[in-house]
Amino acid sequence: MLDTLETFSWKGFHKVVSKYWRVGVGEFYRSYNKKAFVKALGKLVPEINGDDLIAGGAGVRAQACDLQGGLLDDFNIQDSGNIIHVCNAPSPAATASLSIGDHIANLILKKMS
């Protein structure tokens, strides 16, 4: 609960919402309206129709932003003493996960030598 309050009271969050609220509303709309989702998907895959899709779980994609409401597009890995923080791993984070892990392992190995 404290994390939620902290997020909603952070200045950068307010700026992101003011910049990208239309995108957010569109994402919610397409998540709850299969016809709208199929129409949007049809721009990428014209042959697709609603019968091609089955319901699945939804995921959350975290996105770091700065105080001015700008979205951080790059990986942000910070080393602070005994802790290594992965502060931002935007798409294609899943594809790059092995490289990210290798980078973190190298940071740890440097600390141990």
Q: pLDDT by residue (tens digit) across 22-44?
A: 998 998 899 889 999 999 999 99
66-93 pLDDT, tens digit per residue, is: 888 888 878 888 888 889 998 888 777 6
Q: Is the pTM of this model over 0.75?
A: no
Decide if 86 contacts 77 (C-beta within 8 A): yes
Q: Give the torsion through C-alpha atoms of 14, 16, 21, 26, to 10 deg.
A: -140
Question: What is the average pLDDT score of the chain?
Answer: 88
Q: Are strands 83-88 and 76-80 parallel, antiparallel or unpaired?
A: antiparallel
Strand partners, 86: 77
88 and 64 Cβ atoms separated by less than 8 Å: yes
